Homo-oligomer: A and B are copies of this chain.
Amino acid sequence: MNIVIVGATGAVGREMIECLKDFPLDKLRLVASSRSVGKKIGELVCEEISEKIFEESDIALFSAGSELSKEWRERVVAADCLMIDNSSAFRYDDDVPLVVPEINASAARNHKGVIANPNCTTAIAAVVLWPLHKAFALKKVIISTYQATSGAGAAGMNELLDQTEIALNGGEASCEVFDHAIPFNVIPHIDKFQENGYTKEEMKVAWETAKIFGTEIPLSCTAVRIPTLRAHCESIVIECEKVVSVEAAKEVLEAAEGVKLVELPMPINATGEYDVEVGRIRRNLVFGENGLEFFLCGDQLLKGAALNAVQIA
């Protein structure tokens, strides 16, 4: 299998290279923006994007933003190269499957040349919510997130590190990636505001979960950026159609693929891990015996992006 990564020097692109280590690869090629062409990552040299590369590849993993994905979609498909796209460009298109392999791998087989990778916050929650949905039938889902700066790529992480150093030395840094200072702060705003008062990041979780699950479950999300580097956390409360005990939920999650039960899900442990950590599972005090609440943490560059794309491939 010949694979090309488009956006290879980005935070997700670099993780894709790592995730492909155990993949049945014949040839891996890297595409980067013109200023990175010629740059070496390991043994591989970054190339300029071209139709020829797609003609010579079986699968293209795109992670270089919506604009580039839109610009190249037709030519990639025409070259008979399967496009697996990490951007939000095609996620809501009817002819593009949106896939989390643990949940709807079969949907990937009906592709028409493009398969979309979900938003990171969605993917991490979905692998935990899906087995619970199958066992107890979800009725309501309420999510509050604790999202790392790597959600905004390597530039986001660098802004946190650089600005933190400046803040510790009493200085005031300028904001470039984020709209507000991120060190020692909390920003309850990610992506554009929608008419209903939610942000696009928050609505993505609702829209994408419905598409991946193949059913609409009332779901609300508050998406919040916090000063961590990597791995998103989510505090989740669910109400189920069926009665759900903590023990039964733990049994279901222990058997679930891509999920790891821990006492305290935390970024310092979940970073670099393929599985999504889930813990603090308890009977919710508001929804009675049909309610459950828990906390999860997953590396959004891996399960939330690179790993999921490679699993689709």
Interface residues of A (CB under 8 A from B): 140-142, 144, 146, 160-161, 164-165, 168, 180-181, 184-189, 196-198, 206, 218-220, 222, 224, 226-229, 233, 235, 237, 246, 264-268, 279-286, 293, 295, 297
Contacts and interface: CB of A to CB of B under 8 A. Distances in A.
Of A141, A206, A264, chain B has the most CB atoms within 10 Å of the CB of: A264
Nearest to A230: B184
24 contacts: A142-B142, A146-B186, A146-B224, A160-B184, A164-B168, A184-B229, A185-B228, A187-B264, A188-B235, A188-B266, A188-B295, A189-B264, A189-B280, A196-B283, A196-B285, A197-B246, A198-B285, A219-B286, A220-B284, A220-B286, A220-B293, A224-B233, A224-B295, A226-B226
Nearest to A218: B286
Copies of the protein in its oligomer: 2
A245 to B, nearest CB: 11
A186 B293 contact: no
A295 B184 contact: no
A266 B185 CA distance: 7
A288 to B, nearest CB: 8
A128 to B, nearest CB: 14
Given A184-B228, A186-B266, A188-B280, 11 more contacts: A142-B237, A146-B226, A164-B168, A185-B228, A186-B226, A186-B228, A186-B267, A189-B264, A206-B285, A220-B237, A226-B226
Contacts of A282: 196-198
Given A144-B144, A264-B180, A186 B297 contact: yes
Contacts of A227: 184, 226-228
A219 B265 CA distance: 23
User: Chain A at the B interface: mostly helix, strand, loop or mixed?
Assistant: mixed
Contacts of A224: 146, 233, 235, 295
A232 B222 CA distance: 16
A197 B283 contact: yes
A279 B224 CA distance: 13
B295 A222 contact: yes
Nearest to A246: B197
B219 A188 contact: no
Given A144-B144, A286-B142, A222 B280 contact: yes
Nearest to A221: B285
A146 B220 CA distance: 18
A91 B264 CA distance: 28
A282 B246 CA distance: 31
Nearest to A265: B188
Of A233, A279, A281, chain B has the most CB atoms within 10 Å of the CB of: A233
A285 B220 contact: yes
A293 B229 CA distance: 27
